[in-house]
């Protein structure tokens, strides 16, 4: 602690320490994420200049069309799947402003990215924790697609969130120099860094007021319905709230100690794979323009309902096989 800080009141010193730590975390996080985001923006520009975006959009149009989205947004989702949601935001910043999207469209896009993203990294974590890459990969990809279709149908039939999407990122005119394009994308990158700062700030404030603890209390009693006992509840809730990296690490520790069986491990990883990062990732997508009802509450209810059906189906098949073998 510096001599300047020693002369301050304890309250002022705590506030300054809080801001200093927040600023340091924001810079570190921004740097790591921009290593993915900036290349994604540049690659998107190259594809656009080569005229490949149109072909990619046409190729992905049938899949994205199932969710009521233009095919071009398939490149955004594919980037999220292979890298991170922040990498996808970089691609969206380049493509999104030129598309006529509704708030419902953006909410569907954000929702599928929240369910299926960073698969190379996160599937390797779940594999180390005890679940196969293929079943977890299929669960996340198909789960995202099914939820995207359902959410689009609900928004269309009930006529909700049909207003134009709020575009945080500036559109780039078709006729512009490379320098003008670079300046515009630099402004978008700065905006992404600002989003990161406020997301981290919100996370700390939510922890301080006890909202994360409240979510833990609400989720724990529900987990036995999804094939888990009290042993799996704490690690599952941590994974759902903070992310797969945290939950997966805890599961590895618990299974090493023999506290969780293989069925609980799979169910826990499956549930947190469908719904994880409930605070931070949701805040990021809210900043992008996704509606909370779709990216959080709808996603959480869908994940719980899907897990309930899967658990009951597996239990039924297991019971039937035992009866037939007797």
Tell me the average pLDDT across 261-278: 87
Give the CA distances from residue 177 to residues 33, 84, 180, 182, in Å, rounded to whole numbers and listed in that order.
27, 29, 5, 9
Supply the pLDDT for residue 119: 86
Tell me the average pLDDT across 199-224: 72
In tens, the pLDDT along 179-188 reads 766 777 677 6
Supply the pLDDT for residue 107: 97
Partners of 102 in beta bridges: 164
Supply the pLDDT for residue 58: 77
In tens, the pLDDT along 127-140 reads 888 888 999 999 99
Structure tokens at 87: 């990498």
46-55, 107-116, 225-234, 286-295: which is most confident: 107-116
- The CA distance from 30 to 3, in Å, is 30
Supply the pLDDT for residue 139: 95
With bands split at pLDDT 50, 70 and 90, how would you rate the model's confidence at 29?
A: low
Supply the pLDDT for residue 313: 87
Supply the pLDDT for residue 3: 54
With bands split at pLDDT 50, 70 and 90, how would you rate the model's confidence at 67?
A: very high
Q: What is the pTM of this model?
A: 0.79
Q: Is residue 102 pLDDT above 80, yes or no?
A: yes
> Percent of the chain, pLDDT > 70?
79
CA atoms within 13 A on the CB side of 76: 27
Arithmetic mean of pLDDT over the chain: 80
Burial of 81 (0-12, 13-18, 19+ CB in 10 A): buried
- The CA distance from 220 to 230, in Å, is 8
Q: Is residue 109 pLDDT above 90, yes or no?
A: yes
Tell me the H-state helices in 2-132.
3-6, 10-49, 52-65, 73-82, 85-95, 103-115, 119-129
Q: Is residue 94 pLDDT above 90, yes or no?
A: no
With bands split at pLDDT 50, 70 and 90, how would you rate the model's confidence at 173?
A: low
> E strand or H helix at 71, and its extent?
none
Supply the pLDDT for residue 42: 78
In tens, the pLDDT along 279-310 reads 888 988 988 889 999 999 999 999 999 999 98
Q: Is residue 320 pLDDT above 90, yes or no?
A: no
With bands split at pLDDT 50, 70 and 90, how would you rate the model's confidence at 151?
A: very high
Q: Is residue 249 pLDDT above 70, yes or no?
A: yes
Burial of 218 (0-12, 13-18, 19+ CB in 10 A): exposed
DSSP 8-state code for residue 116: S
With bands split at pLDDT 50, 70 and 90, how would you rate the model's confidence at 323?
A: low
With bands split at pLDDT 50, 70 and 90, how would you rate the model's confidence at 6?
A: low
């Amino acid at each position: 602690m510096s001599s300047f800080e020693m002369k301050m009141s304890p309250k002022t010193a705590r506030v300054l320490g809080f801001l200093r730590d927040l600023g340091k975390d924001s810079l570190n996080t921004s740097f790591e994420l921009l290593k993915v985001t900036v290349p994604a923006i540049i690659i998107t520009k190259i594809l656009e200049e080569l005229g490949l975006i149109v072909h990619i959009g046409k190729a992905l149009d049938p899949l994205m069309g199932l969710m009521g989205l233009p095919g071009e947004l398939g490149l955004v989702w594919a980037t999220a799947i292979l890298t991170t949601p922040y990498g996808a935001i970089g691609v969206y910043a380049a493509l999104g402003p030129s598309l006529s999207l509704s708030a419902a469209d953006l909410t569907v896009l954000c929702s599928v990215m929240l369910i299926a993203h960073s698969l190379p990294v996160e599937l390797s974590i779940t594999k180390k924790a005890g679940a196969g890459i293929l079943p977890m990969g299929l669960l996340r990809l198909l789960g995202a697609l099914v939820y995207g279709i359902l959410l689009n149908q609900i928004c269309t039939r009930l006529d909700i969130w049909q207003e134009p999407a709020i575009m945080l990122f500036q559109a780039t005119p078709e006729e512009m120099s490379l320098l003008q394009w670079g300046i515009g994308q630099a402004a978008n990158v700065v905006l992404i860094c600002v989003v990161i700062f406020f997301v981290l700030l919100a996370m700390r404030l939510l922890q301080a007021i006890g909202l994360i603890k409240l979510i833990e209390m609400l989720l724990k009693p529900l987990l036995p319905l999804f094939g888990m006992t009290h042993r799996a509840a704490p690690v599952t809730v941590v994974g759902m709230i903070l992310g797969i990296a945290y939950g997966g690490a805890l599961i590895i520790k618990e299974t090493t100690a023999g506290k969780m069986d293989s069925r609980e491990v799979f169910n826990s990883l499956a549930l947190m794979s469908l719904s994880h990062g409930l605070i931070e990732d949701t805040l990021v997508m809210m900043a992008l323009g996704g509606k909370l009802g779709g990216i959080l509450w709808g996603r959480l209810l869908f994940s719980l309902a899907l897990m309930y059906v899967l658990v009951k189906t597996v239990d039924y098949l297991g019971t039937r096989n035992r009866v037939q073998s007797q």
